[in-house]
Amino acid sequence: MERNVMNAPLDAEKFKAAVREQWDKHAQGWNDHSVQIGAWLRPSTDAMLAMADVGPGARVLDVAAGAGDQTLEIARRVGPSGSVLATDLSPAILEFAREKAQRAGYQNVDTQVADGENLTVTESSFDVAICRLGLMLFPDPAKGLREMFRALKPGGRACAMVFSAPDKNPCITILLSTALKHAGLPARDPYQPGGLLSLGKPGLIDELFRQAGFSQVATTKVVAPFRLPSVKDYLDFVRTSASPIVQILGRLDDAARYAAWTEIESKLSAFNTPAGWEGPNELLLTMGRRI
Ligand X SMILES: C[S@@+](CC[C@H](N)C(=O)[O-])C[C@H]1O[C@@H](n2cnc3c(N)ncnc32)[C@H](O)[C@@H]1O
Q: Residues in the site for ligand X, rule: CB under 6 A?
A: 16, 19, 23, 37, 64-66, 69-70, 88-90, 93, 115-117, 132-134, 137-138
Q: Residue 62 or residue 182: which is nearer to ligand X going by CB? A: 62
Q: Which residues contact 248 (CB under 8 A, 6 or more apart)?
A: 2, 176, 179, 180, 183, 185
Q: Residue 115 or residue 282: which is nearer to ligand X going by CB? A: 115
* Cα 174 to Cα 193: distance, rounded to the nearest angstrom: 19
Residue 270 CB, nearest distance to ligand X (Å)? 24
Q: Residue 70 or residue 108: which is nearer to ligand X going by CB? A: 70
Residue 49 CB, nearest distance to ligand X (Å)? 12
Residue 184 CB, nearest distance to ligand X (Å)? 27
* Cα 108 to Cα 78: distance, rounded to the nearest angstrom: 9
- Cα 14–chain centre separation: 19
Residue 254 CB, nearest distance to ligand X (Å)? 28
Residue 262 CB, nearest distance to ligand X (Å)? 26
Q: 147 has which bridge partners?
A: none
Q: Residue 37 or residue 224: which is nearer to ligand X going by CB? A: 37
Q: Residue 33 or residue 257: which is nearer to ligand X going by CB? A: 33
Which of 47, 64, 54 minimizes the C-alpha distance to 127?
54
- Strands 59-63 and 83-88 come out as parallel
Q: Residue 88 or residue 282: which is nearer to ligand X going by CB? A: 88
Residue 146 CB, nearest distance to ligand X (Å)? 13
* Cα 149 to Cα 141: distance, rounded to the nearest angstrom: 12
Backbone angles phi, psi at 190, to 5 degrees: -60, -20
Give me the residue whose beta carbon is nearest to ligand X. Answer: 66
- Calculate Rg over the CA atoms of the chain: 18
Helix or strand run (H / E) with residue 278: strand 276-279
- Strands 272-273 and 226-228 come out as unpaired
